[in-house]
Amino acid sequence: MKGKSVLITGATSGIGFHTARALASMGARVLVTGRDEARGRAALDRLRLEARHDRVAFLAVDHSTIGGNRDLAERVLQRVDPLDVLVNNVGAIHARRQETEDGYDATLAMNFLGPFVLMPLLLESAPACVVNVVSSAYSMWKRDPFEDLAAKQRYVGIEAYAHSKLLNILWTFALARRLEGSGVVANAVNPGMAWTNQTRAMTPETVPAWRLFWPLVRLVQRRASAEAAAKSSVYLASSEKASSVSGAYFESNAKPRRPTELALDVGNQERIWDLAKSLVARAPTREARR
């Protein structure tokens, strides 16, 4: 990884932080993002100290908006060109439906549209890789992937989260197909359970099916290491062996696994790609927002 440039979104804590720490310690130049400036500065100090170099930078961004991600892409290319690795790690789950300033469901915007906006950062880089961090929860969504995208008909936090992660896997596979022969690979990875800020914020309202045994759920969650969960992302971002694999879904043991039939459906993948392009195009540009 020495000499390579890496962008890891949502990396001021949790799985993203440990991914950044591992890659920076390998000698990579690492850019991490987050919403909170104070937490970003604190993470930056720790990363530089543990990596023993100062080629680590923090960029503040609101990943829930299309404009925020567009602006981030511009800032990244001002700092590093080309970018060698993009780890779309940032994610969110909400107990109650929220809308972004673009008018999209916040879970959909953060987990699906935000990563899609950043994808062009690597289209002209080779060799390079995109690592989209998803979740095994994606398999909980068994309905039509295009059903209730706005989550207005029925909102349950874990269902919206599962839906958005399925969409993320679908566009990852569509991207990999478009990148064939380019030297750029794209894969999706489930890091597994981890005790992170996102996990801490979950409530029985977020996952109603767990309500009756919530204390046990919390006990299991608290024992799940974010550092261990980061290993699969680190592997895909740094391994020479992984650099030849594209369009795959990896589990937390860094082993590929066949995803659900919904995720493998090429028709779904192509429709999701077109949908993402359409939703991103509808969002106002920076000039229009002024």
Q: What distance lies between CA 201 and its chain's CA centroid?
A: 18
Active site residue 155: no
Residue that has been written with the tokens 């062009």 in this structure: 120
CA distances from 280 to 22, 122, 150, 261, 264 (A): 32, 18, 14, 26, 23
- Residue whose token pair is 């100290």: 49
DSSP of 267-284 = HHHHHHHHHHHHHHHHSP
Which residues, 6 or more positions from 146, have their beta carbon under 8 angstroms from its beta carbon?
271, 275
Kindly provide the residue ranges of all beta strands, DSSP E only, lying in 22-177, ordered along the sequence.
29-34, 56-60, 85-88, 128-133
- Please identify which of the residues 104, 138, 161, 235 carries the catalytic annotation: 161
Helical pair 37-51 and 14-25, crossing angle rounded to 10 deg: 30
Burial of 260 (0-12, 13-18, 19+ CB in 10 A): middle
The tokens of 219 are what?
């006990």
Residue positions annotated with a catalytic role:
161
